[in-house]
Each structure stands twice: as structure tokens, then as C-alpha cells.
Structure 1
Amino acid sequence: MMRSLPFSVRPFALLFLMMFSLALHAQAVRLDKVEPPNWWTGMQWSEVQLMLYGDQLSGCTARFTDERLEIRAIHSVPNTHYAFVDVFIPEGLPPDDYTLIVENNGNETRIDFPIYERERSGPRHQGFSQDDVVYLLTPDRFANGDQKNDDLPGLADFNPEEAGKRHGGDLQGIIDQLDFLADLGVTTLWLNPILENNGPNSYHGYAATDLYKIDARFGSNEDYRRLVEEAHKRGLKIIFDHVNNHIGINHAWMTDLPRPDWVNGSKADHLTDKHYLLSITDPYAAPNSEQLQKSFWFVDDMPDLNQRNPFLANYLIQNTLWWMEYTGLDGIREDTYPYPDQEFLADWVKAILTEYPNANIVGEIWALQPSYIAQFQKESHFRRDFETNLPSVMDFPLSEALRSYLRGEGRLRDVYDVLAQDFVYTAPDQLLTFIDNHDMTRAAYEAKGDTDRLKQALTILLTTRGIPQLLYATEIGMVGGESHIELRADYPGGFPGDRRSAFTEAGRTELENDIFRTTRQLLHLRKQYPALRQGRLVHYPMNWNNNVYKYLRLHESGDILVLINGDDAEKKVDLSELEPLLGNRLQLQDLLQDRQLNLSIDEGITLEKGGVRIFLLRNGR
């Protein structure tokens, strides 16, 4: 028989029981989220490291209700809000919603972890190559297809009247223009990042606050998958703009770091302006220079991630694999490639291309020295400490040569000089070539109204070696402005209230239609003639009295001759240098003017000022 406590003791006992109950409640394990949120059967990456978010997770145990899912390790970290669980997914496991049970202090909590069957039908993970032309667009500035997601609670910043704010472009807007892009002649779309960027002035997308979620102002995860599917139906591919180097300051990690070394530095104390790119290869670099350039923050709102942390390294690799598998993406453009830990990046590339061997990855290495850029391409002639595994790099040296020519400062000889250094690359055809991008003043801005030079630069871009990339609205000669915000202007006709639509011939000005017709013609010629994509490049040097660039693209299906007159006057082009390859007589089809020429090689061809000719050689070799 339970004895009653004396009345005078009861308040103290009740208080003790209340405090004991609260202590038990405070120690109850809580599981709020798991990342990745699901996985798939049949993946080569079959041991997945789950990142658990919640409370009282330090020292927890974990198991699945189905024992076929094997827990191989549980990693506690000092922050009790996180734990990491290594799970092996066996071959042949049936797709299902599996339940993860986490226990601590005698309490347990559960969460679903779906395992899906992989999608294997249709075009997926196709990669991109010199057979493609990449069209780069800033989603917020391209087209607004769904006004309902313009201004959402908790995701402010929508103001079309202010240049640095959100303007409302979204995934539906891109889907609406896929037919226009396919008709233009591009084959691959590169979207600036579309993950959630819940911060001020982050329309550009490079300050992610959730790495598993599409920004709701662009649409949903499912909308992104639908974009990939709709693009594939039209023969278009999609490149994912990815960032291993940094996140946005408003990411939840930044108020509750999983581990102290999750980022380099802290919000209150971090390095800035350490763009020591050449330190990676500089034989005279000061000690720690390379480490400094790996660990600084570009701006205060972009914390620098520390990929040397093994849990973060796994997280970033799995996150990329997740997006590839979830959507069927064809490739990746990796932002700020020299700044993360390089050995991590080599592992990251290897994991992606092991899982998706037909995919492709291009790295942004913003430097003007071909020998520096070349060290990042796989099987480099220069790197001996480790293999980068990276198939493609961005060709900033060629871009600068073309831009210098557009400005009137350089000559076509500069283009020749850059290409003559291709011996430093292991695969120059796999370089991503461009005149401008979302970080550079536009080609038309650099040309200062010289449409002939703009057309010449576009001709070189679309007929020389490499994988060409066009910035959105280049096909209409958009000028933009000096700043990043000005150059990322809205595409006319993509937004409610626009007075005209440059997506249509009737909505374009006469000048825009002129540039559009030239760009579209070049794109379709490139698609039609394999020599312009795959042909061996043979080009001829220029002296300072001659600013005419001539080159051949030689291919078994037919050879192409390209002539560019960079002089300020009409020029008689000497073709005698071509005789060892082409013989004494030439039968030429002018692909731009659709006419035939039959001439002796010593006759030459006259080009007007600013002239461009593309000839198909009819007589063969």
C-alpha cells in the first residue's frame, strides 16, 4: 500500500516531479529533417551518408525498420543538433518508403526515407560537346511565365522597377520559350543557379540558402524536372550551374554550424580579396598563398565552405548526384573552380562521371593564361600531384582576344595567337568558348555599335574549335551596360507589360532582326555541317600589315573555309597558302550568300571592310 506524503512535503515533491518531467522532455530526441531526402536503387553511390537535423542527436543510435537497409556507421558531432549516419542500400532493394528510427536517452523518433527506382527511359545525362551550342540565361531576367510566384511570403525582393531586385522570370517562362530556342539553333541551356537564395539582391542565384530546394520564385523542384523533360523532348539539353565554393549568409547552417570547421572563417572574422589564382602553379609563391585563396569570402554575404571537412565533402557530392538523378540533367558548369579544395573537386568530378559517364562538367577558371587554365583539364601536361578528372574548362583567353577585337584595341592576330597555344591543352575541342557571359559586359556593348565586328566575332565563335556559348539576347544584339546588373537586362517581351516581344520577328527592331538572322544562320550552318563542329582546325598567321584571318575546318564529310576581314578597307585575300592542302583550283559554295565560285587559287577573293565569308569546298581533297 502506497503511503501518502505529509501535506507539507507535497509541494516540494510536485515541484521535483515537474522538473524531472521537464528534464526528460528536454532530453527527448527530435528529428526534423534528413538530407538527402531520398535515394535510388541501383546507384553506384550505394553507401549514402545521411545528415540528420534535430535535437539531442549526439550519441544517438539509428536503425531502419527494414533490416535490409544496413547502418554502417553513426557519427556524432559536438553540436547536438546534427548527426551523420552511413547507410548501405543493397542491390535489388525494392523501391518503397522506408522508416528510419533514431533513439537517444530512451526516447525515439521516426522519419520516412523513400528509396525510388531509377528513371532509365528517354534522354538523360547526355553531356555536351563540340556538337552543341550552349545558351546561357539568367532565369530572373529571361521570361515570367507564372506571375503567381513573383512575390511570396518569406521570399521578398520582388521589384521589377529596381535593377538589382527580382523581376519575376521563372522556370515556366523558360518552358514557354523552348520552341523559340530550338528554332534559333542552340542545343543546350545553361541556367544561372536556381536553388533557393533567400537573401537581398540575390536574383543571380549564387548565394544558396537551401541546397535541396528550387527557389519558389522560380517554381518548384518538380517544375525544374519538368523543364528538363520538356527540353529533352525538343532535343535541348540542360546544364546545372553549381557552386561548391560558397553558400548564402542566410543559409540555416550559418546560425548553427554543424561543426566549427564547416566554413572557412566566420561571419565576424573572415578573409576577403585573396584572389591569388596563380599561387596554385607559381613556383615562387609565398608560403600559404594557395591556402589563402582557397579560404577567403568573395563578399560578406557568401560564406566560404571548407570542403576539407569530410562530412561536408560527402554532403556536396551527394547533393550534386541527387540533382542529376532527380532531374536527368545533362551536365554541370562549376562556378569559381580554382577556389575550393582541389583534391575534393577531383573526387567530386570522379563521383559524378562514374555515376553518369556520358555527362560533362565544365569549370570556370577566370584567368587569361592558357597554361594556367590547362592545368585544370584532365590528364593535364602540367599537374603531377593529382588527376583533376575535369573534362572541360572555360576559355577566357579566347574570350578576351575576341573582346579586345570588338573594342577596337586588338587585332584578329590576337585570336590566332591564343589558338596557336592550344598545345597546352589535352583536349582543346572540349573548351567552352564565349565572347561574354553573365559576369562580363555584353559583346554588343564592347562593339560600340560596330555591327560588322559583332558579326565577325560571332562567326569566329561559331566556326572555330570548342563548345560555343552565347549569352541570352546576344542573338538580338542586346547592349546592356557597364555593371553586372545592367548587362543582365530583361529580355524584351518576356515580362507582363512589355510593349514589344523580341521573341518574334515583328517585335524586333530592324537592327535586332539583322543580328538575329545572322546568328540563326550561323547556328544552323554549324548544325548542318560537321566540319564546323568536329573538323580539324588549320589557320594561317597574319603579319602587322595584314588583318585578314583565314582558316579551314577539315572533315571527311566536306571542308569549310572561313575568311574574316579585320582591316578598315576592302581587302584582296591571298589564298596561295592553301594550295598544299586544297590544290590549284577551288570550287566554292558561299554558304552565307548561297552562290558558287570557281577560281584558280592564285586569283584570291576580295572581301569588303568588315566582310565575312564561309565557303564549302566542293572539289574535296
Structure 2
Amino acid sequence: MKHFRNIFLVLSVIVFISCNNTETKKDVSEVSVSNTFLERVEPLHWWVNMKNTSLQLLVKEENIGQSEPSISYPGVTIKKVNKAKSNNYLFLDLDIDATTKSGKFDITFIFDDQTTKTHTYELKQRQKTADEYVGFNSTDAIYLITPDRFTNADESNDINKNLKETTIDRTDGYKRHGGDLQGIINGIDYIADLGFTTVWPTPVLENNMYQGSYHGYAITDYYSVDPRFGNLSDYKNLADKLREKGMKLIMDQVANHCGLEHWWMKDLPFEDWVNHQKNYEDNIENWNYKTNINSNHRRTTNQDLYASESDRKGNNEGWFVATMPDLNQRNPFMANYIIQNSIWWIETLGLGGIRQDTYPYPDKDFMANWAGAIMEEYPNFSIVGEEWSYNPLLVGYWQTGADNKDGYESNLKSTMDFPMQKAIIEGINEEESWDKGLVKLYEGLANDFYYATPKDIMIFLDNHDKSRLFTEVKEDVVNAKMALSYMLMLPRIPQIYYGTEILMDDTANPGDHGLIRTDFPGGFKGDKINAFTGLGLTDDQKSMQDFVSKVLNYRKNSDAIQDGKTIHFAPFMNTYFLFRIKNDETVVHIINKNEKPIIIDLKRYKEVGLDGKKLKNIVTGEEFLWNDAIQLSEKGSVILTTKF
């Protein structure tokens, strides 16, 4: 994005410089004014009254390294001017005093030939205090959306001829389909009615790649919304509309890598801006998908006491894939750039959280500093990191407060619960033999002893990278409901992928990303099925949609589920009882895998203290008196509550 300077400056710049820039060595009486706009100044703007008074500006302009910058604005001081290897960059270290008022000011650059260029920068007033940025937590339920596949509300932005990928093809799972930010806005009522409190779209920043640009994880401009999704106003509008509903917006960010077509890849500021940069620069003319990228994807090297240095570097410095350059967070200017970009988006959108992609791949000390800087500024905020591991030891390592042997403190509030996801799917699917399947659920939850704060971990059953729940449970509706209801009862932050509520699947080719990210029915012109209205849905799909709505809307107002004590009993007779308790509310979740009716003696659960109490089934509304026994007439899940 180019930035426009004040065009009314011919005389004022000369007066401004001569009066206020006492440190310059230039003879300002000979300065002439250039009308060339600066190519980039990032962050685009900033705010006054931040806890951290330091700001580092990236300035990109031809031969800007040959200039001397000056600022004259009360409370703003240039502390240091940093030149880069490329003469087309400067990095300006500013201090913004606590007394600084919001407003605009000129940054003036005087070149060796006595010409000047200026950029008008703005410091804005914050819309709310840092403490008012409240992140997602266990009171929330998160709806994950792949924006390109949810709803196409504005067909006018489907194709942008100024970008490299210029086709729409809904028959191809790996091409753009046209979904956009306005489509998510149009779906807010539907999402809220289901009982969700938070929306997490996968990245919507510019992905100006030649192919596969729809998913958003190959960012080519960290300060620009991809025009095929809309613009910054649309993004802000989404955040505002969610807030009006009392809902939150999570931003999906990527600190590990960018897209190969990112604007800086054509002119890298330093020799170590990205990892394996020389390899890239030496082979840039022949770079392709098969280029050696020096990556081993051995994420355990972050914790492994015996890992070789070469293996550590293979994970932390290798490129994720050949089209995604690995950012070098050990470069202090890159580190500042990423941290400030995250804070800029928090302030700009009023975010309710960040999801950080590929968390174990970047430099782990940087990630601790990144999360620490955000949490220092916003103490009530939330960040979740993706650690795709089924080992709870690895997942727990990344959560703040973990008792790590190496002393590592991540400052990361939440991690993604891949271990429990796997336990639930396998446990639900497994044919019962001495309760073996249900034991996987039971023992999976028993691993919570290792986590610093289990209720801050994000649990899910499917997402944009994994097979759909309905496919995973072998297209069995009862199994899907059992898995989902159990997940929603856990001491966790639950996330559900769009379409799970209507049994969307990828059974034709399990694990295929194009199928996993299928178009949401009713979101596109000509759709014969409309999940928003129920038109054309099968009875099973309607049943699942209704089930999700009833459970989520109960959960939204349940102190016991959100923050209660958890008690579960070892599986018995192919049943598994879990209790969530707070004050006078007790929620009972029962999984019954028996195909035939069975009577369960309730004396085994006496310690919970439900004897003689009346409970209600939150799905069917039926009432039940907790006495000696309960008859479970069919396979499935039962959710009972003492709250009427």
C-alpha cells in the first residue's frame, strides 16, 4: 500500500526543517522538494498512550538510505536511524512520550543531493484501554471459517486483474471460489443463533500468489486485506458487527513465513531477513516447488534435550514449503516488524484474540518475546498457538506456566488440543471391548494433570487442515453427536469448523484440503441447498444443526461447563459419566455405546450428591429424577442439568 504525503508543503517543509531540525548537517537553504511519494512506511500509523513507548518504522523508498530523516512533533523523538544492506530501506527508532497528543506530523527525509521527500504520519487516540481488550476463554465457543468457502456476498470483488491469480472455479477445491468478508458479516445472525460467541476466519490478508491463494497462509502484504475478500473497512465492519452481538473476532496470523511473492522478496533489506536467503537469491531464477528448502519439520527439537543443532535449525530455519519463505525472527528488525504488526491489528480491529499458525516452527525465544509483548500491552488478551502434535507433553510445553525442564516460559495462554482430538475420535469409533474405546476418552482427559491451565486450551474435532468430523466418525450421526457433545462439556475452549453443524464431509477423499474446505451450502448463487434457512437439508443434517444449537446455547449460560469442577468416572458397562459442577448447577454428560437398552446403577456416582434431585435433558427437555438407576434406551449421548 502506498502512502501519500502532504501536497501542501513546498514552503512549509523548508521552514519546518530550518526551524526544527537542528541536528541535520544539510544546508537546508539549498533543499528542493520532490513530489515523489514514499513507497512504504510501516506500521501505517500508531497510537498514543501505549505502554511501550518505542516504535520502529520500516521506510521503503528508492535510495532512502542516503537520506537523513527529521521529525518535529511534541513528544516524538528519533532515537536512532538504522540503515539496511539495501539502500532502499531505513528503520527509524522512535520514542513516543507518554505526554504525546494524537495528531499528524511530517517525517522529512533530506537526500545527499539536497532534495527532500516527506511522509505524513499519524498517531491516533486509542478507542479503548488496554485492559478492555478481553480475549477468548472457556466461556466462549469458536466458529472457524475458511472465508473463500463460506459465503460470496460481493461478486464484484471475485476477480482482481491486478493480482496474479485471476480465476474463480468452484469445481476446483484448490482455486478461489469467491467467499468474502461481507459473506461472514451476512452470516453473523446464523452463527450467533447457533450459540457461538466468537468467529475465527482463516487469514484474509493479501495472498498475491500465482496459485493456491485462497487459503490465506502465504501472506504477501502484512498490512493489506486481500481485495478479493474486501478491504480494511469490511474487516473493521466484521469486528464491529460481532461486537454489536456481544461476540469476538479472532485473527489468524502467521509469524513463521510469508508468501514467495511478498513485496520484500524482490528487494530484501538485510542479508538475513529470511532464513536460507543466499540459497534463495542464488537460485531465484529457477526457484520452484522442488527447490531445496532445508526443512525437516522435526518440531520435537524445541524440547528435545539431545537434539542436534542441525536438526534444530532444520525445523526453525527451514522453509515450510518452497513457496513460503521462512522469516528470520533472530533479525531484530524482523522481530520488531512482526510484533508491531500484531499489535497494529489488535488496535485496528479491536480483536478478541489471535491464533498463531505453525507455532513450533519459528525461533522459540522470539515467540516468547512476541507473546510476551502482546500480553504485556493487553493483560486480558488471548493467543492460541498451533502445535500439531498428539503428544500432550509437547502441547503442554508451550502453555504459559508450564514447569518446563529447560526453564522455557512461552507467555502463550492457549494451545490447540490435538491429543484430545485424536482420543475422542478414536474412542468414539472403536468397537467396545471392556470399555476400551471409552477408556481413550477417559485417559485422554486424565492427562490434564500435566497442563498448567486445562480450561485455557482450545479443543476441536475438525478444522481446515483435518478431515471433517462426519468423515472421521464413519458418517455415523450418533457418533458425531457423541463426540461433539463430549467435547463441548470439557474444561476447554471449544472450536467447531463451519459446516460441522450440518454434517459436511470429505469422505470422497479423506484429508483432501479442497474437500475439507468445501463451499457452505446457501452461501453461493445458484445453491440448491441452503443451510442458513434449512432449505434442502436432510433430516439428519437438520437434527445435527438443532443439536449443536441446543447444546451451545445452553453452554453459553452455564457456569458449570464454563468454569466448574470436573469429575469423571472410569467407563463401566460401555458407558462413561462426566460431571461439571459449580454452585447449585451440575451438568451430567453420559456416553452410552450400548446398542440395546441398559439400566445403570447410579449408586456408583453417589459422591456427586445428586440423590433425589430433579434434572432436565437439555436437548429433549425431558425431566429425570436422580435416584437408584437410570435406563439408557439407545446408543448416544445424554446431557442432564440441575438448572431449570
TM-score, normalized by length of structure 1?
Answer: 0.91
**Unmatched segments (≥5 aa) in structure 1:** 1-23
Q: What secondary structure, in the 3-state scheme, does the structure 2 residue paired with 1:563 have?
A: strand
* C-alpha displacement of 1:288: 3.0
Aligned length: 591
Matched, 1:381 2:403: yes
Q: Distance in 2 between matches of 1:124 and 1:174?
A: 25
**Any idea what the Cα deviations from partners look like across 1:64-105, whole Å, max 9, x if unmatched?**
143542100000112101110011122232322211011221
> 1:69-468 residue pairs with structure 2 within 5 A?
69-105=76-112, 106-120=114-128, 125-155=133-163, 156-199=166-209, 200-266=211-277, 267=280, 268=283, 270-408=292-430, 411-468=437-494
> 1:444-593 residue pairs with structure 2 within 5 A?
444-481=470-507, 482=510, 483-542=512-571, 546-582=573-609, 584-593=611-620
Asked if the contact 1:163–1:486 (Cα under 8 Å) also holds between the matched residues in 2, the reply is: yes
Distance change in 2, residues 1:122/1:355 (3 Å): closer
Counterpart in the other structure of 1:17: none
**Any idea what the Cα deviations from partners look like across 1:127-177, whole Å, max 9, x if unmatched?**
111100000000000001111101111222422232211111001011111
Distance change in 2, residues 1:173/1:289 (3 Å): same
Q: Distance in 2 between matches of 1:617 and 1:509?
A: 33
Q: What secondary structure, in the 3-state scheme, does the structure 2 residue paired with 1:227 have?
A: helix
Distance change in 2, residues 1:376/1:504 (3 Å): same
Higher alpha-carbon Rg: 1
Asked if the contact 2:294–2:314 (Cα under 8 Å) also holds between the matched residues in 1, the reply is: no
- Which residue type is aligned with residue 151 of structure 1? I
Q: What secondary structure, in the 3-state scheme, does the structure 1 residue paired with 2:472 have?
A: helix
TM-score, normalized by length of structure 2?
Answer: 0.88
* C-alpha displacement of 1:588: 2.7
- Which residue type is aligned with residue 75 of structure 1? N
**Any idea what the Cα deviations from partners look like across 1:339-397, whole Å, max 9, x if unmatched?**
11111111111111122222100111010111111111001112543321111111000
Asked if the contact 2:75–2:99 (Cα under 8 Å) also holds between the matched residues in 1, the reply is: no
Asked if the contact 2:295–2:314 (Cα under 8 Å) also holds between the matched residues in 1, the reply is: no
Q: Distance in 2 between matches of 1:252 and 1:224?
A: 22
Larger mean CA deviation between 431-440 and 282-291 belongs to 282-291
Asked if the contact 1:135–1:189 (Cα under 8 Å) also holds between the matched residues in 2, the reply is: yes
* C-alpha displacement of 1:45: 2.7
Distance change in 2, residues 1:495/1:550 (3 Å): same
Distance change in 2, residues 1:588/1:132 (3 Å): same
Larger mean CA deviation between 363-372 and 114-123 belongs to 114-123
Asked if the contact 2:470–2:503 (Cα under 8 Å) also holds between the matched residues in 1, the reply is: yes
* C-alpha displacement of 1:589: 2.4
Asked if the contact 1:422–1:428 (Cα under 8 Å) also holds between the matched residues in 2, the reply is: yes
**Any idea what the Cα deviations from partners look like across 1:496-525, whole Å, max 9, x if unmatched?**
121231111334222210110111111111
Q: What secondary structure, in the 3-state scheme, does the structure 2 residue paired with 1:275 have?
A: coil
Counterpart in the other structure of 2:23: none
Asked if the contact 1:551–1:563 (Cα under 8 Å) also holds between the matched residues in 2, the reply is: yes
Asked if the contact 1:334–1:362 (Cα under 8 Å) also holds between the matched residues in 2, the reply is: yes
Q: What secondary structure, in the 3-state scheme, does the structure 1 residue paired with 2:192 have?
A: helix
Q: Distance in 1 between matches of 2:516 and 2:140?
A: 25
Asked if the contact 1:264–1:270 (Cα under 8 Å) also holds between the matched residues in 2, the reply is: no
Counterpart in the other structure of 1:596: 623
Q: What secondary structure, in the 3-state scheme, does the structure 2 residue paired with 1:562 have?
A: strand
Q: What secondary structure, in the 3-state scheme, does the structure 1 residue paired with 2:347 have?
A: helix
* C-alpha displacement of 1:121: 8.7
Q: What secondary structure, in the 3-state scheme, does the structure 2 residue paired with 1:538 have?
A: strand
Distance change in 2, residues 1:177/1:284 (3 Å): same
Asked if the contact 2:429–2:437 (Cα under 8 Å) also holds between the matched residues in 1, the reply is: no
- Which residue type is aligned with residue 533 of structure 1? Q
* C-alpha displacement of 1:609: 3.8
**Any idea what the Cα deviations from partners look like across 1:537-576, whole Å, max 9, x if unmatched?**
1001126xx3311011011041111111123443332322
CA RMSD of superposed structures (Å):
2.2
Larger mean CA deviation between 227-236 and 51-60 belongs to 51-60
- Which residue type is aligned with residue 187 of structure 2? Q
Distance change in 2, residues 1:157/1:353 (3 Å): farther
Asked if the contact 1:378–1:387 (Cα under 8 Å) also holds between the matched residues in 2, the reply is: yes
* C-alpha displacement of 1:584: 4.7
Asked if the contact 2:47–2:125 (Cα under 8 Å) also holds between the matched residues in 1, the reply is: yes
Larger mean CA deviation between 456-465 and 37-46 belongs to 37-46
Of 49, 58, 63, the match for 1:51 = 58
Asked if the contact 1:132–1:188 (Cα under 8 Å) also holds between the matched residues in 2, the reply is: yes
Q: What secondary structure, in the 3-state scheme, does the structure 2 residue paired with 1:420 have?
A: helix
**Unmatched segments (≥5 aa) in structure 2:** 1-30, 284-290
Q: Distance in 1 between matches of 2:495 and 2:610?
A: 35
**Any idea what the Cα deviations from partners look like across 1:230-281, whole Å, max 9, x if unmatched?**
1100111100001100000000111211111111114336534511111222
> Matched residues, percent identical?
36
Q: Distance in 1 between matches of 2:443 and 2:582?
A: 23
Q: Distance in 1 between matches of 2:135 and 2:374?
A: 12
Q: What secondary structure, in the 3-state scheme, does the structure 2 residue paired with 1:254 have?
A: helix
Larger mean CA deviation between 449-458 and 574-583 belongs to 574-583
Q: Distance in 2 between matches of 1:157 and 1:113?
A: 37
Larger mean CA deviation between 205-214 and 504-513 belongs to 504-513
Counterpart in the other structure of 1:613: 638
Larger mean CA deviation between 314-323 and 342-351 belongs to 342-351
Matched, 1:38 2:42: no
